[in-house]
Amino acid sequence: MGRLLRHLLLPVLACLLAGPVTANINREIHRFYGYAFDQKSGRYLYTEVHHQVYEDDTWVGGTIRYFGADGQLLGEKTLDFSHDPYVPVFRLSLPGEGYAEGISAVATDSIEVDKQKDGRREHARIERVPSMVADSGFHSFVVQHLEELRQDRTVIMDFIAVGRLHDYRFRLQRVSESQVDGHTLLRIRAEPDSLLRYMVPPLMMEYDLQTHYLVEYRGLSNLHDPATGKALLVRLVYPPHPPSGAPASLPPLDAADSP
């Protein structure tokens, strides 16, 4: 879920390595891990391997690969923000689940979304409206509005739930602030701006106000519980070093570099 990816859903997603300068464009590659735990039991679930491409400080695309606790590749997401910084053209593929979803086109007045489950494909064209956000674009949208949120102002977005082929009005609100190692962390809640908020769990995020990095995400995952088929409820963290409970052996960071 962006970064969800230091981003989300969501929903979400560190500047580690710099790339070459070409055609007067400052191009950077950011590689980092996300560590996913079951929100209730604390059991380690999977590792995210992020590869983000930035041009002149703008996130333009990249990949996220998902590896199980045993190191097996579970799936991959490709992202392209060239049409909209908040609505990427993307493809999430989870072969083991027989599932895929994505946005295939972002036009001036509409957005093409689709999903596939066990060989059956469904498609929808969603009307494009202001403040529209999808997938890892959620992270970029939140970063853009961090100061408003810190001032206790409610921020509204129109979030595309691609797996449901529908968009929903969401609201973002400040929950609290805390100090950790000299950094101010802003805790944010995202939830439907409708009665749906009583039916689905909110997304809870903590952002470092100095770096604008996503520190922690709590909410629904892109991956599903094989026993129930429902989206996993996870706690995703993005520390500089592996947290307690993470596998001793992690997939290489450059695992996200190959096509």
pLDDT digits (tens, 9 = 90+) for 138-166: 999 999 999 999 999 999 999 999 999 99
Domain presence at residue 143: yes
Kindly report, residue by residue over 116-125, the tens digit of the pLDDT.
Answer: 998 899 999 9
How many domains in the chain? 1
Q: Give a yes or no: residue 7 inside a domain.
A: no
Its pTM surpasses 0.85: yes
Q: Is residue 252 part of a domain?
A: no
Per the structure, the complete domain to which residue 134 belongs is given by 17-244
* CB neighbourhood size of 159 (10 A): 27
The reply to whether 178 falls in a domain is yes
On the question of pLDDT at 128 being above 80, the answer is yes
End-to-end CA distance of the chain: 20
Using 50, 70 and 90 to split pLDDT, how confident is the model at 7?
very low
**Within a domain: residue 1?**
no
Q: Copy the structure tokens of residue 99.
A: 């599932």
% of the chain exceeding 70 in pLDDT: 89
- CB of 34 closer than 8 Å to CB of 5: yes
